[in-house]
Amino acid sequence: MLEFNMTIGGQQVPTKETFDVINPATGELVAQCPNAIAEDLDAAVAAAKEAFPAWSSLPDPERKAICASLAGKLEEEAENIAQTLTKEQGKPLGGLGSRFEMGGAQAWAGHTASLSLPVKVLQDDDQALIELHRKPIGVVGSITPWNWPVMIAIWHIVPALRAGNTVVIKPSHFTPLSTLQAVQAMNEMLPPGVLNVVSSDGKLANIGAAMSAHPDINKIVFTGSCGTGEKIMQSAAKTMKRLTLEMGGNDAGIVLPDCDPKEIAEGLFWGAFINSGQTCACMKRLYVHDSIHDEVCEELVNFAKTIPMGNGLDEANILGPINNQLQFDTVSRLVADGAKHGKVLLGGEPGEGLFFPITIISDLPADAPLIVEEQFGPALPVIRYTDLEDAITAANNSDNGLGGSVWSKDKEKAKGIANRMECGTVWINGHGGIQPNAPFGGVKKSSLGVEFGEEGLLENTNIQVVFS
């Protein structure tokens, strides 16, 4: 069994206590993970604080080159980390699974490293020279989820480092091992203390809560549930921390009557079921015009039947289990209610262990929990509509506003509808595709701030205006 340690101040740090990390596909022990106490967090923050002056004052080209080297290091370690990721998260190695995630991590690291923050001249005349400078914030605390643990860690880490900050990251206790590996590898390219990781299951110390309240952490970047994001925001208020929060989504897709059901079935499927539906920007609700509703459902079901689900270490499988029992129970509850009030077209019954079959349910009432709540699993409600205005209203009737999609052969008409959707990103004839050069964030309760691209990089800076 592999040994995993935390990285603090450039050193591998074991702990007296550990917790078990379980393979959700088999129920077997993957490894025992270091279980941090409050003193470990304090040590990591102290190391990051000590490293900040030197790291932030590096000449920008030098810091840029070091950040660029992280992508290469991730590429070197990609297969080892992917194997660990599949064992602890459950997603398959192939397809849109762990190797895909590692490729995404490399792409985001490389693009983010290439970005620059030049001085902006606001005024240059006989009266004054006024310059806007972007300066690093200090120590950034990162709290990451279990669905895309390595890629999201890179989304947090590399922009912070590129802007001149230092980082302390805490991964989810369901999937800490791949992050421990990635951070250890990246530390080979970084000065000691610039990037630190602490792991915890929360039983010895609530490390996440301690981070959001820690006086020496200057910003928190968090990806996870709305409820946890609210708690972080409340806790961070006492120290007036900067925040970037990417939280839940209940994304709606709207299919117009001019669509060909056969042509869109595959795109609809992956928009809803990538990573077994365990993605913030998955399509969670699908509104289909009455004239093609039944055909769309039929084509979706037919395509879904071709997708094998099973242990992700088997290269033949394309989807894996739900990651943990708590989420499995949530999906089970929502689907069981949906089965009582709607028409189950596929799946509907829990499988063995944490495997939940691809489930498609139609003819649910508008207030069904499977429509109103974020299921975060392989279950999709398909809702029939006749009036487009009603569909747009229903799509916007959510406390969340992360993403949405419009499906139509008429792209101009689709864009018009997209502009009326209350969400941060809208896709036309697709759903969930993201790029490192396109800002990503939501509205309402889904997001505070944005990630990716220049706009995401700016979230990791303070403004200083210089008059001369």
In a domain, 44, yes or no: yes
CATH code assigned at 165: 3.40.605.10
Find out whether 356 and 332 touch, Cβ atoms under 8 Å.
yes
In a domain, 440, yes or no: no
181 and 193: one domain?
A: yes
25 and 54: one domain?
A: yes
289 and 235: one domain?
A: no
276 and 241: one domain?
A: no
243 and 258: one domain?
A: no
In a domain, 434, yes or no: no
In a domain, 435, yes or no: no
85 and 183: one domain?
A: yes
411 and 350: one domain?
A: yes
pLDDT in tens, 419-440: 999 999 999 999 999 999 999 9
- The pLDDT of residue 3 is 85
- The pLDDT of residue 387 is 98
Nearest 5°: phi and psi at 414? -65, -40
CA angle, corner 344, sides to 338 and 346, nearest 5?
A: 125
Domain that holds residue 366: 251-428
- Active-site positions? 246, 280
Determine which of 1-5, 77-81, 102-106 has the lowest per-residue pLDDT on average: 1-5
304 and 227: one domain?
A: no
269 and 223: one domain?
A: no
In a domain, 1, yes or no: no
In a domain, 295, yes or no: yes
pLDDT in tens, 362-400: 999 999 999 999 999 999 999 999 999 999 999 999 999
In a domain, 439, yes or no: no
pLDDT in tens, 30-59: 999 999 999 999 999 999 999 999 999 999
278 and 299: one domain?
A: yes
Distance CA 141, CA 48 (A): 10
Find out whether 170 and 199 touch, Cβ atoms under 8 Å.
yes
pLDDT in tens, 124-138: 999 999 999 999 999
Distance CA 7, CA 21 (A): 18
In a domain, 436, yes or no: no
- The pLDDT of residue 1 is 66
170 and 318: one domain?
A: no
CATH code assigned at 343: 3.40.309.10
pLDDT in tens, 198-256: 999 999 999 999 999 999 999 999 999 999 999 999 999 999 999 999 998 999 999 99
187 and 286: one domain?
A: no
**Helix H or strand E segment including 7:** strand 6-8
